[in-house]
């Protein structure tokens, strides 16, 4: 897992790459909590996520419900899109995303 953090005043940007799962969620949670303590707005880029499980999805849901901090997830990888669609949580997360109509579309992929 790689986490690239950039802070600019009240805005923090995190770019995640690698796995967002039960094995990495604690590290990501600690970094996210630190950013939430310092910034009022956080943008999390998920394009580099190669694998995600329900622990990763749970972290996303917890982050969205944190009072006092606006958290946006952007640039969702195919893995993230697939799990959000499967869990029917696109509306709950509230971030703009496009669920692909076909699994065979071009783009980054994830293991089955």
Q: Are 99 and 107 in contact (CB under 8 A)?
A: no
Three-state DSSP at 23 gives coil
Q: Which residues on adjacent β-strands are paired with residue 52? A: 20
- Dist CA 1 CA 14 (whole Å): 12
At residue 44 the predicted structure's pLDDT band, cuts being 50, 70 and 90, is very high
pTM, rounded to two decimals = 0.83
At residue 98 the predicted structure's pLDDT band, cuts being 50, 70 and 90, is low
Residue among 58, 68, 66 at smallest CA distance from 26: 58
Q: Which fold has domain 2-93?
A: Transcription Regulator spoIIAA (3.30.750)
């Amino acid at each position: 897992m790689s986490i690239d953090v950039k802070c600019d005043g009240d805005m923090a940007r995190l770019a995640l790459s690698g796995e967002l799962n039960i094995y990495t969620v604690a590290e990501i949670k600690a970094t996210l909590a630190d950013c939430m303590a310092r910034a009022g707005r956080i943008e999390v880029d998920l394009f580099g996520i190669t694998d995600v499980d329900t622990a990763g999805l749970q972290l996303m849901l917890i982050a969205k419900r944190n009072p006092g901090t606006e958290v946006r997830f952007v640039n969702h990888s195919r893995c993230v899109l697939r799990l959000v669609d499967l869990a029917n949580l696109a509306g709950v997360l509230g971030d703009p995303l496009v669920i692909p109509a076909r699994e065979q579309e071009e783009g980054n992929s994830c293991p089955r």
